[in-house]
Structure formats: structure tokens, C-alpha cells
Amino acid sequence: MAFDIEMIKAVYAKFPERIEAARKAVGKPLTLTEKILYAHLSQGEASEAFERGASYVDFQPDRVAMQDATAQMALLQFMQAGRDQVAVPSTVHCDHLIQAEVGATADLDKAKDKNREVYDFLSSVSNKYGLGFWKPGAGIIHQVVLENYAFPGGMMIGTDSHTPNAGGLGMVAIGVGGADACDVMAGLPWELKFPKLIGVKLTGKLSGWASAKDVILKVAGILTVKGGTGAVVEYFGEGARNLSATGKGTICNMGAEIGATTSIFGYDEKSEAYLRGTDRADVADLANGVKEHLTGDDEVYNNPEQYFDQVIEINLSELEPHINGPFTPDLAWPISKFAEAVKKHDWPAKLEVGLIGSCTNSSYEDISRAASLAQQAVDKNLKAKSEYTITPGSEQVRFTVERDGFLDTFGSMGGVVLANACGPCIGQWARHGAEKKEKNSIITSFNRNFAKRADGNPNTHSFVASPEIVTAMAIAGDLTFNPLTDTLTNENGEQVKLDEPTGLELPTKGFAVEDAGYQAPAEEGSSVNVIVDPQSERLQLLEPFQPWEGTDLNGLKLLIKAKGKCTTDHISMAGPWLRFRGHLDNISNNMLIGAVNAYNEETNSVKNQLTGEYGEVPAVQRHYKQHNIGSIVVGDENYGEGSSREHAAMEPRFLGVRAILVKSFARIHETNLKKQGMLALTFANPADYDLIQEDDNIDIVGLESFAPGKSLTVVLNHADGSKNEIEVLHTYNQGQIGWFKAGSALNLIKEKNK
């Protein structure tokens, strides 16, 4: 396997000096996050303290991981960077393109056939440029990374927003766009605004129905979808040490739902057990040698208020299971209050489907605990009232839980095992009847529950809970059921109660797998050919974007003023569009089709200022492009939250949108826009959003003296001849202004590699 023990040795060798230098520079004890970040500075040892939430800092990540939907564009970009091999160990994981329909084997065969062109492309590029390639069916990126590559104290970036999953094993793991992955694979430093730090002190110990998932469901309720923006969430305390490594992974994974840059736990006995359990005793031995650097300093954890920007405390002994949703992961309900909420809000109480697994919750522990409930259903003569699916996170987990009989147990309860892939979690779900758009409820152990995400039906009320709660609910078929207190009527008409779930953190017989689905790269890749058919509708080689013309941008048409939530799913929808992730022109036909137009409250219907008619957003924009007219998109708060996909930035850039002006941005999306040479601007006064009118022609003034920290002016030329001049802000530093001027970050890389 492409596991690089020498790389880890080299990383740990730098720790003592670099951390000591950081302690001196900062002048106080350090959190774990600070230790890892300062140990990965691309400049080497720290000579100054960075300001949290303000300083832009260059880092040298140890690894890159990419999933197949995002890898296509990242690698198409990397191919333009002019290198023979990737600069750091990197992997590709084929997990997003497999549609769930009937069950694992048939769905996987169908996907291999349907996506052959893409898999062949990814496999050959990986082979040529030295990347590890995980074939379709091998598993979901974050689970495979946790099992094989994550290591305490490491730093990695991944082209998927749930990359922080590896924080469960003490790694600073951050979700980025393909353009960032391309930079790091090309050997360039990776820039990040030095994060703020949120400390979560865990006390006590989980028991009964409560699980690690409930920790993050509760944290999401406290911090909301924006509360972690620009921050790393560091968990510590005796409660943290009581959680399994995979449970920690679940918590870190879902930190993405509060907008956190990443989340992390320190190295402890549970991490060591997991490393040894996954055949990495050598890594555990190395980690034990630098143990004191793989956790925050004692003083920090003893007096957290002095060292973190915000501190939250949760007592695991008192934690109730939670159910979050619908439509947003931060609407948190303790289970004792959930039935009342269902009734009060008139959410459909009948549960149609319960789905467990995904990258978030498919550890051995999760599956074994859920299976203990499935076994009870069988033993107590209960028939599951809802459909029930199981998505294993990796072939290693699937093989092991099959060996240990859990898959059979689920089968006896009527469960269907899906492929080791994202499937319903990313909208790859051929759900029967979804097209009727009926109001209905589902519950998953996934991480996201935005409208339409799982099945494309805007009326599907999707709730998120632990695999245990999902399983109990699927047995009951009723969202008002509380498994902690309520009984169910079995097939004999008797009242029975489910006992608390039980399970094992790690398999007693160890993990096993026959074929993990890994392909190592060629030793020497120069003779490997990468073929992209010019006629392909799924892959398209890239053309560089045009550099800035050197003047202010005048006469931009307002393309859309988006109202309310505008996530990357609204900007570049997933589901059926995933097939075009490697073809910029074709995927651009989904640009902003999910955003709500503030003037008519409709989606995908905006006024074409040249014709006065309403049309679909991409069509109207293509019309402007034909006429060589630039445009601007206006948005609300936290614009671009959700996934890391750079398509959401590349599509508007490709179609000729010049600027995105919003009340506030989600971090990854803002960076992605900058990388693509787009202007990402925010209102100095958010109320100015209301001044934008539908027929506005807009000028952006001040670009000739575009400089860090200096605001720009936007002139709104209204149709009635009146004007407003407003101040807009940006967060570009000097380097990023260079990207804007060159037309994209990649244009600059190419220059440097020449």
C-alpha cells in the first residue's frame, strides 16, 4: 500500500524544534492545532506569532486526497502545471459516481460501465503522475483515509468538505477545492488564513443510546451552520479520551456542518489502538515517540478560556441522543423533545426510509451497534416498518462486518446493503417515487440534510441521527417513537421494548479484506498515456482563463440577486450533474439553477436585460457571454456554504460572470473564487443588498489600485437613471491579487514552472 512511513518519520523529526520555536514565537503554551500548524509552516521554523483569523500563512501539507467527482477537475488542472510527478503523496478515491438503486453488486457493475471513461482517465492519470488509486467499490474517501493514511500530527488537504474526518486520528485535515489540491501536488505551498480556535471540553463518558454522533449534533445546535466559520474546533478532556478513534472521526467529519475549517482530537490510547487495529503498529510506535507533541499543552487544557477564542463544555454522561433537521443540520432536537417537534411542525411522522453508513458513520463500532438493534428486532419478532439501507464506508469494513455476521442480521430485518460508496448521501439515489415530489420523511446517519440532497425531492424531510437511532426509527417506522422510553407492538401483538445498543470499537478477530481495491502507481510514468476524447461529453481539457484587462469593470449586468441560503448545491447542483464534473462547458449548464431569484422568488428564472425576457440562469448568462458583456451575481449570508467543489467558482468564471458580491462568504468557496481569478466581494454595509435592483448595470471601481485591506466601490446604475455608490470589501492578499490579475492561480503556477 502507498503508505509512506518515511514521510511520517520526516514529519515527526521536525516536531521538537519547530514546536519549541512556535512556543517561543507565540510566547505561551500551545494548543494541539497550533502545534501541528506551526510544524507545517512552509517557511520552516516560526519566527513570529500569527494572528488568528487575520494572518494568511503558507503551509506544507503532507498529503492530498481526492474523490472522483472533484479529482477530475483537480487533475485536469494538475496536468496543466507542467510536472512529471505529484510533489506529495496523493490518492484518488472512486466513491461519488456510484448510484444506489437495487444493491451493492448490481449498482457497482452498472457504475463501472457507465463511468468507464472517467475511471479510466483517473486511473491512467494516477498511474502516470504517481498517485494511489482506489477503484470503484474500494470505499468512501474519508473512511479509506482514516484506515490507511491519517496519522496523528499530520496535515492533509482533501477535495471534499468532509476531509476533517481524519481529525479523529489527530490530523489537521482540511477540505479544499481542486485548485488547492493542484497547487500542493504541484509543489507549491498552500495558503490558509490562520484559524481561530474553538475548544470543546468533553467530560464524562457516553452510555446507553448516546453515541459520538450526538456530540456533534449537539455542537451543531449550539454553534449553528455558521458558528465554526474560520475556526478549528479542538476537542479535549477526559471525555475525549473515552471516545473511540472512529467516533472522534464522526465528530470531526460533521464539523463541516458548522462551517469549521477543521476539527481535531489529540493522540491517545484509543488512537493507538485504532492504528494497531488497522495494521499500522509502525505508525503507533512512531507516534508514541513524540506523544507530548501530539496533544495540546496541559496548561491549555487546564485553563482553556485563556487559550481558545471560545470554549464549550459538554458532559458526555448527560448527553441525550439527538435528531437534527429537517433541511439543515443545526436544528438540533434532543430525542425527548423530538416527537413534540414533529407534531408541532406537522412534519410527516411516518418514516419512509432509514439509511445508515456513509463516510460519517460506518465504522465497525457503528455497524455493530446498529446490528445489535437489528438482531433485537429479529429476536423480539418486530418487523421493520420502514425501508432500511446500509452503506459501508470501505471494503475493509464491509468484508469484516460480513464475516462477523452483521450484514446477515441486517438482511433478516429487511435491510439492503448498498455499494461502498457515497450513494444517497450525495444524491446518487434512484429512489422510487421521488419524482412525485410527495411530502415524506427519511432519517440518515449521514452528515448533510439540505433540501433535495438525497433524492432530489424538495419535500423530503431529511433528519440526521446516529446509526443506532436511525435503526430504531426504521424498526418503528414512526418519527414520534422514542426508543429510550417507548414500546413497540410486535407481530404477536405484544408490547416490546428495545434494549440499549451494544457493540465493539474494533473487531475482536481483527479487520480482514480480500481485495481492498487499491492500485499503486507505475514506478516510472512517463510512458503512460492519458487520453481524453475531444468528443467526450464528460471530460474536457482546460483552456486557461483570460487575464484581467487592467481596467475597472464597467457595465456589468446583474445576473441574479440570490435570496436566502445559497449553498454550493444551489450554485452547482450535484445529483445528475455529477457526470459532467470533468467537463466545464457541459456542467456550466447547472450554474445557479438552484438559487432563488429575489425578485420573483423562483429558481432558475432571471431577467435577461438584453431581451427583457425571463430565462434560465445559464442560458441568460451564455447570452451575455455571446455579446461579450460581463455580469455580477449578488448573494446573501454565508454564500457558497456546503461543499468544496470549485465548479461552483469555475462555472460562473467560464461563462463570463466577473464578480460575486454577497453579505458574507463560506471560506472554501471564497478561496475557490479567488483561485479562478474571480472577484469575491462583500457589502461593507449588508443593508446595501436591498439597493440592488433587477435592471441594474453595475460598475466595479478601484481595481487599478486593488490592494490588500483597501475597499472597492460599486456603482449601481439603476434603470431610472438614478445611482447608488456603495463600498465593498474583500479579503485578497497580495498573492491573491496576483491570481486575479493573471486570470487564475493556475496561470501563475504555469508561469513559475516554465
Q: Mind telling me the catalytic residues?
A: 95-96, 160, 448, 643, 645
Exposure string of 530-549, with b = 16+ CB inside 10 Å and e = fewer, is: bebeeebebbbebeebeebe
**CB of 132 closer than 8 Å to CB of 91:** yes
Shortest reach from residue 69's CB to ligand F3S, in Å:
9
| C-alpha 342, offset from chain centre | 28
CA angle (37 as vertex; 307, 44 as ends), nearest 5: 125
Cβ closer to ligand F3S: 422 or 632?
Answer: 422
Q: Which three cell numbers stand for residue 693?
A: 435592483
- Using alpha carbons, list the distances in angstroms from residue 315 to 204, 219, 235, 246: 5, 12, 12, 19
User: How, if at all, do strands 310-315 and 322-324 pair?
Assistant: unpaired
Please provide the distance, in angstroms rounded to a whole number, between the alpha carbons at the two ends of the chain. Answer: 33
Cβ closer to ligand F3S: 111 or 742?
Answer: 111
Distance CA 316, CA 529 (A): 54
**HEC states along 584-624?**
HHHHHHHECCCCEECCCCCECCEECCCCCCEECHHHHHHHH
Cβ closer to ligand F3S: 331 or 464?
Answer: 464
Cβ closer to ligand F3S: 277 or 392?
Answer: 392
Q: Which is nearest to 457 in space by CA: 485, 426, 436, 487? A: 436
Instruction: Kindly tell me which residue out of 60, 278, 409, 447 binds ligand F3S, with binding defined by CB under 6 A.
Output: 447
Cβ closer to ligand F3S: 446 or 511?
Answer: 446
Q: Which is nearest to 641 in space by CA: 299, 280, 345, 229? A: 229
Using only C-alpha atoms, the chain has a radius of gyration, in whole angstroms, of 25
Shortest reach from residue 645's CB to ligand F3S, in Å:
11
User: How, if at all, do strands 416-417 and 262-265 pair?
Assistant: unpaired
User: How, if at all, do strands 310-315 and 351-357 pair?
Assistant: unpaired
> What's the DSSP call for residue 266?
-
Q: Please give the residues from 111 up to 170 whose contact with ligand F3S meets the rule CB under 6 A.
A: 140-142, 160, 162
x-marked contacts with ligand F3S along 78-117 as a string, rule CB under 6 A? -----------------x----------------------
Cβ closer to ligand F3S: 283 or 359?
Answer: 359
Shortest reach from residue 574's CB to ligand F3S, in Å:
8
Stretch that binds ligand F3S, among 32-40, 257-265, 419-427, 457-465 (CB under 6 A): 419-427
Shortest reach from residue 699's CB to ligand F3S, in Å:
40
Cβ closer to ligand F3S: 265 or 446?
Answer: 446
Shortest reach from residue 357's CB to ligand F3S, in Å:
8
Instruction: Kindly tell me which residue out of 425, 464, 578, 657 binds ligand F3S, with binding defined by CB under 6 A.
Output: 425
Cβ closer to ligand F3S: 70 or 631?
Answer: 70
Work out whether 174 is an interface residue with ligand F3S (CB under 6 A): no
**CB of 309 closer than 8 Å to CB of 54:** no
x-marked contacts with ligand F3S along 587-606 as a string, rule CB under 6 A? --------------------
Amino acid letter, residue 99: Q
Stretch that binds ligand F3S, among 12-20, 421-429, 486-494, 665-673 (CB under 6 A): 421-429
CA atoms within 13 A on the CB side of 59: 27
Instruction: Kindly tell me which residue out of 251, 356, 418, 426 binds ligand F3S, with binding defined by CB under 6 A.
Output: 426
| C-alpha 524, offset from chain centre | 33
Shortest reach from residue 11's CB to ligand F3S, in Å:
25
Grid look-up 492504528 returns 275
Distance CA 322, CA 216 (A): 9
Shortest reach from residue 728's CB to ligand F3S, in Å:
33
Cβ closer to ligand F3S: 140 or 382?
Answer: 140
Shortest reach from residue 156's CB to ligand F3S, in Å:
15
Work out whether 359 is an interface residue with ligand F3S (CB under 6 A): yes
x-marked contacts with ligand F3S along 477-516 as a string, rule CB under 6 A? ----------------------------------------
Q: Give DSSP secondary structure letters for 315-340.
A: EGGGPPPEEE-SSSTT-EEEHHHHHH
Amino acid letter, residue 149: Y
Shortest reach from residue 349's CB to ligand F3S, in Å:
26
Work out whether 76 is an interface residue with ligand F3S (CB under 6 A): no
Shortest reach from residue 362's CB to ligand F3S, in Å:
9
Work out whether 366 is an interface residue with ligand F3S (CB under 6 A): no
The footprint of ligand F3S on this chain (CB under 6 A) covers a number of residues equal to 13
Shortest reach from residue 216's CB to ligand F3S, in Å:
13
Stretch that binds ligand F3S, among 240-248, 324-332, 420-428, 597-605 (CB under 6 A): 420-428
x-marked contacts with ligand F3S along 222-241 as a string, rule CB under 6 A? --------------------
Residue 690 burial (CB < 10 Å; 0-12/13-18/19+)?
A: exposed
Cβ closer to ligand F3S: 19 or 516?
Answer: 516
Grid look-up 473564487 returns 673
Instruction: Kindly tell me which residue out of 11, 94, 118, 422 binds ligand F3S, with binding defined by CB under 6 A.
Output: 422
Q: Residue 381: which region, alpha, beta or left (left: phi > 0; alpha: psi -120 to 50)? A: left
User: How, if at all, do strands 460-464 and 440-444 pair?
Assistant: parallel
Q: Which three cell numbers stand for residue 273?
A: 489502538
Q: Which residues contact 102 (CB under 8 A, 6 or more apart)?
A: 416
3 state DSSP class of 644: coil
Cβ closer to ligand F3S: 358 or 409?
Answer: 358
**CB of 467 closer than 8 Å to CB of 367:** yes
Distance CA 15, CA 35 (A): 8
Work out whether 358 is an interface residue with ligand F3S (CB under 6 A): yes
Cβ closer to ligand F3S: 160 or 268?
Answer: 160
Shortest reach from residue 580's CB to ligand F3S, in Å:
17
Grid look-up 474526518 returns 165
Binding site for ligand F3S (CB under 6 A): 95, 140-142, 160, 162, 358-359, 422, 425-426, 446-447
